[in-house]
Homo-oligomer: A and B are copies of this chain.
């Protein structure tokens, strides 16, 4: 029942000299996604964005930019290679490749250092490790391009490990339904006006994409046993919403540990959760594209009592 829910993420921004990436169409993006070892299950569209729900996570495409997120044993770097076949590397203004802390790295087809070697053949870049190897840690590769990103645009990622609660119980129960899951996730309350696309996986698992104008959010839930995991990601501007995603999602998913990664957190935004949790680690830095990266790693403020797990 092991499934690696933790994701790899590829973001690419292209020069406006090339045609709209959205105009490449579904069959092009199927090739990109297939290269990583995933497939497109469904999609939703609006005037700004195409959102593809994948067998392993999600793809969001705007005119000159895409974000491809994959989990499981996918080889996401191959998607970058495939993309370059159609769009020369000189048209890439920015590339970032992020690899999150996996439950079981030995089951992955590659490790981050190998991925970086492949990426560096495409374009020069900087590879970073954030956090210590014996605990949660993340890897980030960014291209050494001179392009500056708009630092008012935020991305928020919440990665929750060892989740439990009503929603998790419902998902691993016998008859989960997307309607009930949407209700438990409160997506209609929190994402008013969004278009949704969601999917229940066999034997277990749930993904939802939502888009409104150029904004997206996505939630992926892997509820099973020793690798239970849920992730939330959005490019909604946190300063312009009264919601505390962290607070809401921690209540729903009750993780034992979690990571918050915010790109371009604004200075007036307060650190969340600190009073009710053990914050094990923090890392703040700027990339050479003007992006401010804030990484925080938390643990529930109590001792987890384990019973040993018998392995087959």
Contact = CB atoms under 8 A, between A and B. Distances in A.
Interface of A: 101, 103-106, 108, 111-113, 116, 126-136, 139-140, 161-162, 226-227, 256-257, 278-283, 285, 293, 295, 299, 301, 303-311
Nearest to A304: B281
Nearest to A159: B134
B133 A311 contact: no
Nearest to A138: B308
Contacts of A131: 306
A258 to B, nearest CB: 10
- Closest 5 A-B residue pairs measured CB to CB? A283-B306, A128-B308, A127-B311, A129-B309, A103-B133
Contacts of A128: 308-311
Given A126-B310, A293-B308, 7 more contacts: A104-B133, A131-B306, A278-B280, A278-B301, A280-B304, A283-B305, A285-B307
Given A104-B133, A134-B103, A135-B257, A280 B308 contact: no
B116 A311 contact: yes
Contacts of A140: 308
For A106, A108, A227, A281, the residue with the greatest tally of chain B CB atoms inside 10 Å of its CB is A106
A116 B293 CA distance: 42
A227 B133 contact: yes
30 contacts: A101-B134, A103-B133, A103-B134, A104-B133, A106-B111, A112-B311, A126-B310, A127-B311, A128-B310, A128-B311, A129-B309, A129-B311, A130-B306, A130-B308, A131-B306, A132-B226, A132-B256, A133-B226, A134-B161, A135-B135, A135-B257, A278-B280, A278-B299, A278-B301, A280-B304, A281-B304, A283-B305, A283-B306, A283-B307, A299-B299
Nearest to A129: B309
A279 B303 contact: yes
A293 B303 CA distance: 17
Copy total for this chain: 2
B303 A280 contact: yes
B136 A162 contact: no
A6 to B, nearest CB: 8
Contact of A308 (B133, B283, B301): B283
Contacts of A133: 103-104, 226-227
Name the residue in A113, A161, A293, A306 with the highest tally of chain B Cβ atoms < 10 Å from its Cβ.
Answer: A306
A127 to B, nearest CB: 4
Nearest to A133: B103
Nearest to A130: B308
Nearest to A301: B278
Contacts of A161: 132, 134
